[in-house]
Structures are given as structure tokens and as C-alpha cells.
Amino acid sequence: MPAKKIYFYPDPYLRQTNQSIIEINEDVRELAQDLLDTMNKVSGLGLAAPQVGVNKKMFVMDCSPKRNNSRVFINPTILKTSEETETSEEGCLSFPDQFAEITRPSSCHISYSDLEGHIQEGHFEGLEARCVQHEIDHLNGILFIDHLSKLKKKNLVKKLDKQLLKDHRKSMEPKYSIRRHNEQKN
């Protein structure tokens, strides 16, 4: 499947509360594969459906060092989080090249459906717990910047705006043409 376009902040898709998936069918399996392909293409650890403009409660994740443990989570719900917290640098594919120190519970226990429609439970710690919580936040219209103070959020958004403007300008630059180069030699 082709990789999907990732929506950047402040796209409204990122703030919507998403719909539960009622039936696991071919469309849902195709969405899961699209999410995996997109996540892997950009070397992400996780990706939620609203980040590609689909308002469904699904995300994919692979935090393994060799990137060989991709998982699909449908209609996930956090059942319990630890009282212990960890503060660590966090980024988001919808905020390219932006990172911030975010405090989250160090572990979580969730329920979700797999691609066969079976209800599963999982316990996650460390990086996986952080990723699961980050992606479930996306499904509820919550972004990682919402965990920052107003000042830190404002500064990060300002940096993002500069980065996106720079990227936009770069994409508008004329491409060097071999034909033009050859014409200039004659």
C-alpha cells in the first residue's frame, strides 16, 4: 500500500474525537497496512489514524530496536496507569523536527481489539508506554503539546511555524534542469 500524507499541526483532523471501529473488515485492514507503511516510511515509532486524515480509533506502533514488532491497536482504552511518572523527550510526526520534555505515567495497562476482532489487554512500560499514551491521546484529539505549559507550547508552535515555512519555501524553489544546463552551454 502507498504511504499516506501525514497531517501537520494545526490541521483540524488532529483535534477531533475519533469514531470507534464497529466492524473489522477489509477497509480496516487496509487502513492498518497504510498506517504501518506510512509509519515505516518516515521511521516513526507510532502513528494514529487521525494523523493521516482518518477519524477512526486505530493506531500502529513499533518501538523495537530492529523495527520488527509492528502492532495494530483498534479502539484502545487505557485501563490503568502507574502513579510513577517519567519525563522524557517526545516528538510527533505531526510536528516535524519538534521535541519537548513530556511527563507521563511510566507504565499503562490497556484493552484493545486486534485485526481479528479479538479483545486483548496489554501492559506497557518505558518507551512503549509513552508511545501508547501518545497515540491514544491522538485518538481523543489531544496533542503532546497539550502537556506543556502555555509558554513552552507557544515557543514550540513558533518553531514549528518557522520550520514549515522554511520547508514550504524550499519546495517552491525551481528545480535544476539538465535541459536548462545544456542550453546554457551552447
Report yes or no on 179 lying in a domain: no
Q: What is the pLDDT of residue 1?
A: 54
- Rounded Cα distance between 34 and 177, Å, is 33
Q: What is the pLDDT of residue 178?
A: 44
**Angle subtended at Cα 135 by Cα 32 and Cα 50, rounded to the nearest 5 degrees:** 60
- Sequence-distant contacts of 146-154: CB under 8 A, at least 24 apart: 147/102, 147/103, 147/104, 148/100, 148/102, 152/100
- Rounded Cα distance between 145 and 35, Å, is 22
All 3 cell numbers of residue 61?
Answer: 506502533
Contact predicate 98/160, CB 8 Å: yes
What pTM value is reported for the model? 0.88
78: CB partners within 8 A, 6+ apart:
108, 109, 110, 132, 133, 136
pLDDT band at 105, cuts 50/70/90? very high
Is the confidence at residue 108, as pLDDT, over 50? yes
Q: What is the pLDDT of residue 167?
A: 77
135 is catalytic: yes
Kindly report the number of other CB atoms within 10 A of residue 88's CB atom: 13
Report yes or no on 2 lying in a domain: no
Which of 86, 121, 128, 135 is labelled catalytic? 135
Report yes or no on 185 lying in a domain: no
Question: Strand 71-81 to strand 85-92: parallel, antiparallel, or no bridges (unpaired)?
Answer: unpaired
Q: What is the pLDDT of residue 182?
A: 41
Q: What is the pLDDT of residues 38-51, one digit of tens each?
A: 999 999 999 999 99
Report yes or no on 160 lying in a domain: yes
Report yes or no on 51 lying in a domain: yes
Residue 49's domain comprises 12-174
Mean pLDDT across the chain, nearest whole number? 91
Number of structural domains found in the chain: 1
Is the confidence at residue 54, as pLDDT, over 90? yes
Q: What is the pLDDT of residues 145-157, one digit of tens each?
A: 999 999 999 999 9
Least confident piece of the model among 45-49, 100-104, 168-172: 168-172
Report yes or no on 122 lying in a domain: yes
CATH number at residue 31: 3.90.45.10
Residue range 134-163: mean pLDDT, rounded: 96
Report yes or no on 1 lying in a domain: no
Map residue 68 onto helix, strand or coil.
Answer: coil
Report yes or no on 27 lying in a domain: yes
Q: What is the pLDDT of residue 180?
A: 41
Residue range 155-163: mean pLDDT, rounded: 92
Q: What is the pLDDT of residue 177?
A: 43
Residue range 1-27: mean pLDDT, rounded: 92
Q: What is the pLDDT of residue 3?
A: 84
Is the confidence at residue 96, as pLDDT, over 60? yes
* Phi/psi at 94 (5° precision): -85, 0
